[in-house]
Amino acid sequence: MGGLGGQIINSWDPKALRAVSDFDTTHQFNANWIVELPMGRGKRFGSGMGRVTDAILGGWSFNGVYHWTTGLPFSIFPGGWSTNYDLTGEAILTGNPGKVGVYRDASGNPNMFRDVNTAVNAFRHPYPGESGERNILRGPGYFGIDAGLDKEWSITEQQKLKFAWEVFNVTNSVRFDAANSTNGFDLSSSGFGVYSSTLTKPRVMQFSVRYSF
């Protein structure tokens, strides 16, 4: 059961599910950089090195991208159909389910709630005529760093050889996707709130050599 639902289910009350957008982030920080490493002929370090040594150690550059956000909004869905609309409504918050985070449940699965029983009892079904409440909780935000190291050699005036080593998700960080996990509170307490997908992918490295002429 997904945790996103931006449709209008009651045409007589289009504001009933009004909430922040599914992709809303209260805060986000982005940064990117390209740094020429100060080593090699004419550089701060190793300025007097020979041509062969400079070809190996000099002229490298380091680049990267950093992205971090606060939590993304999501909804809780009832496990059954309890409205009189073409689309099912979303659950209504009646108590405090606890802070959404990353916890371990009794089965060892990553769960968005510390106390699953308390979380289950903090919601109710929408009654006939109600739409429910949309995007009332926020899950973990996104975090990722991608980086690369590259060097270019000039063979002739028109021919160049470039080597690059690129790493995606350098820190191999895991950020769970609450909106596309188990958000149906009619499920047994052992299954409710279990994360089943992630916003991030495992670390991946790639090497490349490009010859241009």
12: in domain = no
4: in domain = no
Could you tell me the pTM of the whole model?
A: 0.78
pLDDT at 82 over 70: no
126: in domain = yes
3: in domain = no
2: in domain = no
Span 154-183, mean pLDDT?
A: 91
HSE-CB of 57 using CA atoms within 13 angstroms? 17
CB 111 within 8 A of CB 139: no
Span 3-25, mean pLDDT?
A: 80
Sequence-distant (≥ 6) Cβ neighbours of residue 64 within 8 angstroms: 32, 33, 145, 146, 147, 148, 170
Confidence band, pLDDT 50/70/90 cuts, at residue 187 = low
pLDDT at 103: 94
pLDDT tens by residue, 33-44: 999 988 877 777
pLDDT at 2: 47
The number of distinct structural domains making up the chain is 1
pLDDT at 114 over 80: yes
165: in domain = yes
Look up the domain containing 177 and give its range: 28-212
124: in domain = yes
Q: Write out the H or E segment, with its range, that includes residue 92.
A: strand 92-93
9: in domain = no
